[in-house]
Every structure is written in structure tokens, then in C-alpha cells.
Amino acid sequence: MRSLDIAGTGMQAQQTNVETISNNIANMTTTGYKRRRAEFQDLIYQDLRRVGTTSSDTGTIVPSGAQVGLGVKTAAIYAINEQGNLEQTSNSLDFAIQGTGYFQISLPSGETAYTRDGTFSLSNSGEIVTSDGYPLSPPITVPNNAQSISVDNSGQIEATIVGQTTPQILGQIQLADFPNPNGLAAMGQNLFTQTEASGNPITGNPNTIGYGNVQQGYIETSNVNVVTEITDLITAQRAYEMNSKVITASDQMMQTLTNLQ
């Protein structure tokens, strides 16, 4: 019976759906996290009677035909890139992007990764790095005798140096954007890498056309909406249960056939 396999694909699809929702809920407090949504497609169809074929010698045409679908499959799990809320931390090395763009991070492999997580620290040499010690790109180093650091909306970093009245410019934060941000590959640690699907990065200064601005002393919170996730979870659970009942009903029908004498 086709219904057994069809319902099986439905249960597998809803299992993927629940896994996606659970990952969203698990990351509801992850800085810069973008919630994800599973997208599904129907599988191929079997023609019991092909539409458009002739039904008589006089050339009459079958108007609708008869097709039986073979179930469902996962087509994609994509990120919803809505702006998360900005939460004030008053930490001078916390930067939030308000708008479009990603911070660029240099990996130990020499590759460049991209992130919305702007919780930075200083390394033992004064370089601005992520919580894993990966430096910001382009690199910016804060002198040991710096009293305070300030970052304006355009990403220019200045430091007040002991004994100097004029702030010293340390560097410029550059943001990257992509033709298709959903094509970025998530590698964990709040980092993404470029792929063929994402296209090549387009870099520019914050607060210019096409790029968001930088807010010092803030972080971008996750854009996960708990109410929406719980609602989607209930829907997925009910869909899973209904598919399981289809399997139970199909099993009972097959049992009826085997009991015929």
C-alpha cells in the first residue's frame, strides 16, 4: 500500500520540522542568531490515468486524469534574516549591527568567516578578537595605554590615549553583505562561510548605502519568537500524529485483507 510509504515520508518531514524548531528554541538567547524555517516539497506523482490522453477513437480528451502523490521531502531549511532586538550591555567592545551586514572574522585557516555576533574582546597583544580569539578583519589593535575606546555609527574606532587630548584613530570596521545571505554555510560558533550559493562578499563601511550602522555598547539578540515556535511545534506534533494514524489505518486495512478466507 502506497499510504504506508507516504505517511512515512510525512513523519520524517515533521521530524525534521521539530528538529528545526527545537534548534530555534535552544538558540533563543544566542547573540545574533537568526531563526530557521523548514520548507517542504511534494514528491513525484504516479499516473493512474494520464491527463490529456485520448479516451476514444473519436479523439475525446481526458480532462483531469488521476495522479497519486508519493509523499513529501525536505526542500530547504533557510534562515529568516529579520533584525533582532538590540540589548544594551554598556561594554565598550560590544558592537551590534543595526541593519544589513556581517562582521568579518579571520580564521586560523586563513579563510574569512562572517558573523552578526559583535561580542568582542582584546587579545594579549591588544587586538580586537571574538570570544574564540579570532581577530576582526581588517585587524584593529588597541594600545596598552588606551583609557577608553569609542566607535561611531560608521564603524570608525578611536581611543583616548594617556597624556593626549586628541583621540587616536585606530581603524575602521568594514561590513560584508552577500547577494544571497541564505546561501551562507553555518559552521557553528555564530560564524558563517561563503559558498557558491551566497555569491561573493561585497564590503563597505557601516552607515553607508546598503549597510547598517554599528551601535557600541549593544548586542543583537536572537530573533526567535517563542510564541511562534511553540505554535509551530504544536502544529508539527499534530501533523506527526496524523501521519502515524495513517500508518495504523493502513496496517489495519492490510490485516483485514490477510484475514479474508
- Cell numbers at 29, concatenated: 538567547
CB neighbours (10 Å) of residue 23? 15
> Does the pLDDT of residue 60 top 70, yes or no?
yes
Where does the pLDDT of residue 261 fall: very low under 50, low under 70, confident under 90, or very high at 90 and above? low
Q: Which of 176, 251, 175, 186 is nearest to 215 (CA)?
A: 175
Please return the burial class of 32, using the count of CB atoms within 10 Å of its CB with bins 0-12, 13-18 and 19+. buried
Where does the pLDDT of residue 54 fall: very low under 50, low under 70, confident under 90, or very high at 90 and above? confident
CA 222/CA 27 separation, integer angstroms: 7
Per-residue pLDDT tens for 101-123? 999 999 999 999 999 999 999 99
Q: How does the average pLDDT of the chain come out, rounded?
A: 93
- Cell numbers at 209, concatenated: 548605502
> Does the pLDDT of residue 177 top 80, yes or no?
yes
pLDDT of the residue at 51: 81
pLDDT of the residue at 57: 76
pLDDT of the residue at 67: 82
State whether residue 251 is helix, strand or coil. Answer: helix
pLDDT of the residue at 152: 94
β-bridge partners, 62? none
Per-residue pLDDT tens for 19-50? 999 999 999 999 999 999 999 999 988 888 88
pLDDT of the residue at 162: 85
Q: The dihedral of CA 225, 227, 232, 234: what is its sign?
A: positive
User: Where are the domains positioned within the chain?
Assistant: 2-81+224-258, 86-220
* DSSP for residue 183: G
Residues 134, 136, 139, CA angle at the centre, nearest 5°? 115
Per-residue pLDDT tens for 182-202? 999 999 999 999 999 999 999
